[in-house]
Amino acid sequence: MSGINVGRPPNKWFLRAPLAEVSARLFCIPYSGCGALMYRRWPDSYRGIDICRLQPPGRENRFREPIFATYQEMAVALADAVEPHLDVPYGFFGHCGSALAAYEATAEIERRGWPTPSALFISSQVAPQDGPAGRWLEMSRSELNDELDTLTIAMGGVPVAELSDVYLDILEADIAANKRYVMPNPQRLATLIITIGWSEDHEVDHRQMGGWAACGETRFVLLDGPHQHFISGPVELLETFAAELPTLD
């Protein structure tokens, strides 16, 4: 079921207005260097779950807005943005660096006493107290450019040399936020945490994700594929969401 749009214009965080007549919503945060269009191969809804692609400032249609310097700053604004749409059960999804933003958004919502997520889906990211971690953190601009080209192709695009500096600036700002994120004693969540590892992930070995148990009740799921396989919206990943969020079938 695709649903119909809620009768209000979307705010800047949403590429489209959230759907009505859904069983749940999944708020998806793009990861480092990317915008909401990285989820363009995902369905708008899956088994009644509204797939909401979130657009942080500083990228794509919000290019002229400043990028948040920390995940905590992003979480405050993100919580405000999704609050009108917490009328049904919901969850957050983040992959790699954006998983930390998803964790912080969940923590912010819990501190506010709002309805909490049914689940927080953490893909390919070590726990807050185990970072910062990852080979991208120490790469040169030239090396990051190569990685960005690879990512662009994985997303179904074609690298454009004239735009490389623009996207590299975004990526470097996101990496700087990751480097600043030092959390030796992270908040323990009431929200269920679903950690998702990938069998062929050479960026974040799924065996490094055990630290999330210190952040709340945790369940681990191992899916087939490499680090960027999630971009294609594989059914196994969508079914992982459906296992924890209410569906219409």
Q: pLDDT band at 69, cuts 50/70/90?
A: very high
Q: How far, in Å, are 15, 55, 69, 80 from residue 12 at the CA level?
A: 7, 7, 18, 12
Residue 148: which pLDDT band, with cuts at 50, 70 and 90?
confident
Closest to 74 measured CA to CA, from 216, 163, 177, 165 = 177
- Average pLDDT value for the chain: 93
Determine the pLDDT at residue 159. Answer: 79
Report the b/e string of 145-160 with b at 16+ CB within 10 A. bebbbebbeebeeeee
pLDDT in tens, 175-207: 999 999 999 999 999 999 999 999 999 999 999
> Do 131 and 211 form a contact (C-beta atoms < 8 A)?
no
Whole-number pLDDT of residue 9: 46
For residue 10, the model assigns a pLDDT of 53
204-216: average pLDDT = 98
pLDDT of 5 > 50? The answer is: no
Q: Which CATH number fits domain 4-244: 3.30.70.270, 3.40.50.1820, 3.40.50.2000, 1.10.10.410?
A: 3.40.50.1820
Q: What is the 3-state secondary structure (H, E, C) of 165-211?
A: HHHHHHHHHHHHHHHHCCCCCCCCCCCCEEEEEECCCCCCCHHHCHH
Given pLDDT bands bounded at 50, 70 and 90, which one contains residue 3?
very low
Please report, as a single letter, which amino acid is at residue 70: T
What's the CA angle centered on 69, arms 104 and 35, to 5 degrees? 75
3-state secondary structure of 24: strand
pLDDT > 70 fraction of the chain, expressed in percent and rounded: 96
Confidence of residue 118 (pLDDT cuts 50, 70, 90): very high
| pLDDT tens figures, 89-104 | 999 999 999 999 999 9
- Alpha-helical (H) ranges within 55-209 are 71-82, 97-112, 141-154, 164-180
Q: Are the beta carbons of 18 and 26 closer than 8 angstroms?
A: no
Domain residue limits, the chain: 4-244
Q: Give the per-residue pLDDT at 2.
A: 36
Alpha-carbon distance of 100 to 132, in angstroms, equals 10
With tokens 């990228």, the residue in question is 59
Examine the pLDDT at 1 and tell me if it is beyond 90: no
The model's confidence at residue 39, banded by pLDDT at 50, 70 and 90, is very high
Give the SS3 label for residue 90: strand
Whether the pLDDT of residue 165 is over 90: the answer is no
